[in-house]
Amino acid sequence: MSDSDYVVEMKGIDKAFPGVQALSDVDFYLNRGEIHAIVGENGAGKSTLIKILTGVEKQDAGTVTLGGKAVTVKSPLHAQELGISTVYQEINLCPNLSVAENILIGREPRRLGSVNWKAVNAQAKEFLLQRLNIDIDVTQKLGSYPVAIQQMAAIARALEISSAKVLILDEPTSSLDVHETAQLFQVMRKLKSEGVAIIFITHFIDQVYEISDTITVLRNGALVGTFEAAGISRLELIAKMIGRILTELDEMSKIKLESGKHIKGEAFLQAEGLGLVGAIEPFDLELHAGEVLGIAGLLGSGRTEIAHLLFGIERPDSGTLEIDGKEVKRFSPLASIGRGVALCPEDRKEAGIVDDLTVRENIILALQANRGWFKFLSMQQQYEIADRYIKLLNIATPSADQPVKNLSGGNQQKVILARWLATNPQLLILDEPTRGIDVGAKAEIQKLVLSLAEEGKSCVFISSELEEVLRTSHRITVLRDREKVTEFSGEVDEQKIMQSIAGSES
């Protein structure tokens, strides 16, 4: 392959931030019309590499060559002009504007100086249909569409801005369900066939194999290697990402079997006909001490709604809930903490971290809320608790006094986990605890769940990664369209659960 085939060539990239070498001597080559995955744990340097390519950051050393010409990307705008478009993890469009407006904002076709709305809508619709194969009403507000469509709109906008030669997708699938992901992949394949080179950043190994041609692995700011997707096995890849072989996953099933023996007969939590109109149909649920209950289902199937009911975020309008033998009358997070229930919410940014507060404050927040305004934990106690969990959960932070916003996503997730472990809960509800975090941290969290069960605590484990639910749960409840459809216990195979999630039971 001759050099000119590369759309992007990055050579010997170095980048240091105060106190940290983010990238050292990294090479990256991107071919025309390929889907190139960049993988690595949190802090491996993926986003820094992308930021350099898109002009957000400037490299300390190394060269960037686009289509054979050495360039200095000065700004994100400059990158767009050069044909590099990016869709970020958090969709940064305006949900209150229509889809068409979002796609064409700033470049609306005009007539006599005023915006020609007819043309805007027609152009946007045509663009979506032609380039992305999706047919929707573009005059509707963007916010009224599911996340997947919003993502498509973001891609459409990225493509529209510059006739993009390079499209960067940063964690595009982290909030999509299976169908939506498939839809996105179709779009990606179509763009690929049109010669667009796509850089795909993700934590989902399955997806890396499903869609990408080439994989570049980064670890601790250094290049581990670039591989043909077909030529490297999963285990090899993971080993390269985390620098050690994952025997932990094997261990896990043993621990699970072991912890299963500790399940006690009496129910710690019992829900009968619990439901809330518009959120979840009435359901029965039983949970024993020492048990991990998995909840499987697609996005929007009612998983989060169940978690919210059990934790008292919402008040149910039917049924009864009994926890530890007492009927629940007061539904509020504070009352739930008092009952020994904890919830790690799905949305880390919105409902989890308090980003200006320090790691220490974030960790003691729920415990202190339970103690009230005046029984303030002394500084010494606060540091003790914080340091204990920083150690226990391997939270990577320079100190307990670091604002939590400076931590990477995985570590923020661990901080929230620490917040709830500090309240010493009897029942821990985890809603998507491993979303957007790296393989190593995922395994740690799963192990933690099982060790909690071993201590006789109960756990509700909600995840869109079925494999993970299977690995950790003693029993699995399946939801479909805001309704509990079935429950599995003992040895179950993935296929059966998938069928009931999809609703195609025989």
Q: Which residues bind another protein (CB under 8 A)?
A: 17-20, 22, 42-43, 45, 47-48, 313, 332-334, 336-337, 343, 345, 350-357, 361, 365-366, 368-377, 396, 398-399, 402, 406-408, 411, 419
Give the Cα separation of 358 and 346 in Å (integer).
21
Q: Which of 173, 244, 195 is nearest to 31 (CA)?
A: 195
* Comparison of 278 and 374: residue with beta carbon closer to another protein: 374
Smallest distance from another protein to CB 122, Å: 39
Smallest distance from another protein to CB 374, Å: 5
Query: Is the Cβ–Cβ distance between 454 and 259 less than 8 Å?
Result: yes
* Comparison of 419 and 475: residue with beta carbon closer to another protein: 419
Positive or negative CA dihedral for 466, 471, 473, 474? positive
CA 66 to chain centre: 31
* Comparison of 148 and 439: residue with beta carbon closer to another protein: 439
In 10 A of CB 252, how many CB atoms? 18
Give the Cα separation of 44 and 53 in Å (integer).
16
Smallest distance from another protein to CB 217, Å: 17
Smallest distance from another protein to CB 395, Å: 11
Q: Which of 334, 313, 335, 333 is nearest to 324 (CA)?
A: 335
Smallest distance from another protein to CB 398, Å: 4
Find all residues with CB under 8 Å of 188, minimum gap 6, and list them.
35, 169, 198, 200, 211
Query: Is the Cβ–Cβ distance between 470 and 297 less than 8 Å?
Result: no
Positive or negative CA dihedral for 392, 397, 398, 403? negative
* Comparison of 136 and 396: residue with beta carbon closer to another protein: 396
* Comparison of 371 and 480: residue with beta carbon closer to another protein: 371
Helix (H) or strand (E) holding 26: strand 20-31
* Comparison of 140 and 406: residue with beta carbon closer to another protein: 406
Half-sphere exposure of 18 (CA within 13 A, CB side): 2
Smallest distance from another protein to CB 74, Å: 18
* Comparison of 343 and 469: residue with beta carbon closer to another protein: 343
Q: Which of 165, 222, 215, 168 is nearest to 194 (CA)?
A: 165
Find all residues with CB under 8 Å of 496, minimum gap 6, and list them.
488
* Comparison of 246 and 396: residue with beta carbon closer to another protein: 396
Give the Cα separation of 321 and 8 in Å (integer).
58
* Comparison of 260 and 425: residue with beta carbon closer to another protein: 425
Smallest distance from another protein to CB 50, Å: 11
Smallest distance from another protein to CB 301, Å: 21
Residue type for 23, please? L
